[in-house]
Amino acid sequence: MKWRGRRQSGNVEDRRGSSGKGKLIAGGGIIGVIFLIAQFVLSDGDISVLEQLDNVSSPSTESRELTAEEKELGNFTEVVLADTEDIWNKIFAENNMEYREPGLVLFSDAVQTACGGASAASGPFYCPADQKIYMDLTFFEELRRRFGAKGGDYAIAYVMAHEVGHHVQNLLGTASEVRRLQQQSSNVEANELSVSLELQADFYAGVFTSHNRKYLSEGDIEEALSAANAVGDDAIQKRTRGQVNPDSFTHGTSQQRKEWFMKGFRTGDIRQGNTFN
Ligand SMILES: [Zn+2]
- pLDDT 10s per residue in the chain (277 long)? 999 999 999 999 999 987 444 444 434 444 444 444 444 444 455 444 444 444 444 455 568 899 999 999 999 999 999 999 999 999 999 999 999 999 999 999 899 999 999 888 888 999 999 999 999 998 898 888 888 898 899 999 999 999 999 999 999 999 999 999 999 999 999 999 999 999 999 999 999 999 999 999 999 999 999 999 999 999 989 988 899 999 999 999 999 999 999 999 999 999 999 999 8
Tell me how far apart the alpha carbons of residues 88 and 257 are, in angstroms, rounded to a whole number. Answer: 21
Tell me how far apart the alpha carbons of residues 67 and 146 are, in angstroms, rounded to a whole number. Answer: 24
List the end-to-end C-alpha distance of the chain, in Å, as a whole number: 34
For residue 128, report the distance from its CA to the centre of ligand 1, in Å.
12
pTM: 0.86
Query: What sign has the CA pseudo-torsion 166, 167, 172, 176?
Result: positive
For residue 63, report the distance from its CA to the centre of ligand 1, in Å.
30
Within a 10 A sphere around the Cβ of 249, how many other Cβ atoms?
A: 21
Cα 201 versus chain centre, distance:
9
Alpha-carbon Rg for the chain in angstroms: 18
Q: How many residues does the chain have?
A: 277
Residue among 261, 207, 204 at smallest CA distance from 230 = 261
Q: Collect residues with CB below 5 Å from ion ligand 1.
A: 44-45, 198, 201
For residue 61, report the distance from its CA to the centre of ligand 1, in Å.
31
Give the H or E element holding residue 178: helix 174-183
The set of residues, in sequence order, having a beta carbon less than 8 Å from that of 70 and lying 6+ positions away, is 16, 137
For residue 67, report the distance from its CA to the centre of ligand 1, in Å.
29
For residue 249, report the distance from its CA to the centre of ligand 1, in Å.
12
For residue 121, report the distance from its CA to the centre of ligand 1, in Å.
15
For residue 195, report the distance from its CA to the centre of ligand 1, in Å.
9
For residue 25, report the distance from its CA to the centre of ligand 1, in Å.
29
Residue among 208, 70, 81 at smallest CA distance from 140 = 70
For residue 275, report the distance from its CA to the centre of ligand 1, in Å.
13
